Structure 1
């Protein structure tokens, strides 16, 4: 199952050239760059102080900054994207579960995507709650699911799906799409970002920015013995440190999101 953030609001079914459905979206595909118990947003300058994270994009450590990312090679394939993305490490019986794929969708869930502007340089944000430790039975919000095959059962504790052969475990992690227009960070790394209201960015969060959605796929069929380095499945969260080259991100926002066009990793129509 592939669910990008650019799903059309109800009633918007415009089409582009040759019948291509118009969705304000582009993406970048990344491979794991490193794995470390670091978090340069939440615990900057404190190596080994965090739970284990899986990092995508440039290599990251506790001293990483947006400026350092811009000067570093990256594992992401969208030209100009040197941003860092990270999530807690998935473990089975205490051992890391290998990644299958990692795609970052940039889109818009707003009624008018032409209002979206690029992220300011150096913006960082966190979504989810590493301290949230609650059960995630089938049907609960914020849970892992099966991509490419059906769910055929649940783990003994009920918190993880069991996927049929041919599929894999996946999780979507979505960030807020409105910004306060002033701060590139906040004490909790969340309060400078906020949700839209009735499909618009307004009030405390008046600036529309791309909606980021991480699609995190694992080489696993789910089942027993799974946990995150941060704890239960409910503690899944994501971190983003913006290090796009401004001209590259600006072009993608203008040509893809503002124009309501579904792109790939570069500006232009993608079926």
Structure 2
């Protein structure tokens, strides 16, 4: 979900395997991340996945929402709806791609002619409507959207490389046609699915034995004299009451199934695509502190062992490649921490923050902010682009550290990112006139039987839900937050942190 334009670099090299000094993307640039600053082929058995072949595996489209850093307020509703339409079009095109493997094998031009060209025409129409939405309210049409209609067919190896896997930029058979879209080398037989129980990931290369990964966690910035050293922990449960939906009120307000994948919700209990600031105040909360009406939500994790869940025939679930048993976290720690460089100001009411990028398989890793590890290894290894295989008795851990610098004015922005930022990774200082706010951190743990890999096949894989064309890569993990408090709680959190207390 996360449309994200703010890029950041930091000194923690995230290595997928011990043999790799770093992960390469595209032309060979190195991928870096920082825990503090952070920004397929099925066989006869339903619980196995195979390494992907070189046929077109997924569809890669420019993320139009990333380009829209400013949208007139009275055009925002229409533009949000059009952006959601673009996501729906990609989902539909991917479904066409996945269901036409034999036709692709019989006709080397099928993907371009039957899928990518019609998709380009549909996207062009939507982009044209977005421009009209601007001009209708007296604003200039956004010319930066020109040229963003065309999509490409991406091979499995290209997708694995973009999302940070082991292939180190190998193109493996992709070639350009005169329409500008990559097509796969023809195959004598129907292309296989791209891993996973639903044929859209994950694959064996998406997993790594954490005991074989070299330590990669570096220290946080040194705290200065004016550091805010306190913490505030809010206990909101693990979504044991199964409060789910496939909406995203931040990115696609008013659009049912705008996320195209399932979310866990804790905190505010009245959040869906049609929620408003007013309904947030009336929503109740799963948090022990009843003044915390904030919404904390993230994609569910599923175990792909051949089982299905309640949404196997529903939008956002099995109909869109999100399959398997939904896992409830064993624990969910939500903690606000301070800045190593300064005091913090209270979060404004209704502040929205998205961390991570749900589209890294096609967008690249610039805005990835997933951290995967195992209990007993968290201080040594943090992974962004692969899922850990944990030793017996060790839990899988997902950790998020949200943006902690705020522009001081806006509770949201057109691309849902430019109003917040990460601090400088070396000093912890907020730049560009931004103010330090309490940094939201989240730690989710899961009991997951370790997947096994034999002859390039992963059995009993697990993965986060995502857009179907994103192939369930670990780097697509993300987290969403809407700050809603009553009884002066926002100021209490800031005061607690600024005075060095550990509060609950």
| 1:104 Cα deviation from its structure 2 partner | 1.1
User: Contact 2:332–2:445 at 8 Å: present in 1 too?
Assistant: yes
Which aligned pairs between 1:17-96 and structure 2 lie closer than 5 A?
23-31=229-237, 32=239, 34-50=243-259, 51-59=261-269, 60-93=271-304, 94-96=324-326
In the aligned structure 2, how far is the partner of 1:143 from the partner of 1:179?
22
Q: Deviations over 1:132-176 (max 9, x none)?
A: 129xxxxx98441112579xxxxxxx9322223333111111111
1:99 and 2:305 aligned:
no
The answer to which structure has the higher strand fraction is 1
User: Contact 1:40–1:61 at 8 Å: present in 2 too?
Assistant: yes
> Any gaps of 5 or more consecutive residues in structure 2?
1-34, 38-218, 305-323, 363-367, 379-384, 452-459, 467-471
| 1:58 Cα deviation from its structure 2 partner | 2.1
What is the aligned partner in structure 2 of residue 153 from structure 1? none
Residues 195 and 229 of structure 1, relative CA distance in 2, 3 Å threshold: same
User: Contact 1:28–1:105 at 8 Å: present in 2 too?
Assistant: yes
What is the aligned partner in structure 1 of residue 141 from structure 2? none
Scaled by the length of structure 1, the TM-score of the pair is 0.78
Query: How many pairs are equivalent?
Result: 238
Pick one of 169, 178, 184 that aligns with 2:396. Answer: 169
Which has the bigger relative contact order, CA under 8 A and spacing at least 6?
A: 1
Residues 124 and 149 of structure 1, relative CA distance in 2, 3 Å threshold: closer
Which aligned pairs between 1:251-262 and structure 2 lie closer than 5 A?
251-254=492-495, 256-262=496-502
In the aligned structure 2, how far is the partner of 1:142 from the partner of 1:58?
23
In the aligned structure 2, how far is the partner of 1:127 from the partner of 1:159?
18
Q: Deviations over 1:176-229 (max 9, x none)?
A: 111111111001111100122333223242x21111111122232453411211
In the aligned structure 2, how far is the partner of 1:11 from the partner of 1:250?
22
What is the aligned partner in structure 1 of residue 409 from structure 2? 182
In the aligned structure 1, how far is the partner of 2:420 from the partner of 2:449?
34
Which aligned pairs between 1:199-238 and structure 2 lie closer than 5 A?
199-205=428-434, 207-223=435-451, 224-230=460-466, 231-238=472-479
RMSD of aligned C-alpha atoms?
2.8
User: Contact 1:172–1:216 at 8 Å: present in 2 too?
Assistant: yes
The answer to which structure has the higher helix fraction is 2
> Any gaps of 5 or more consecutive residues in structure 1?
15-21, 135-139, 151-157, 266-271
Which aligned pairs between 1:236-247 and structure 2 lie closer than 5 A?
236-245=477-486, 247=488
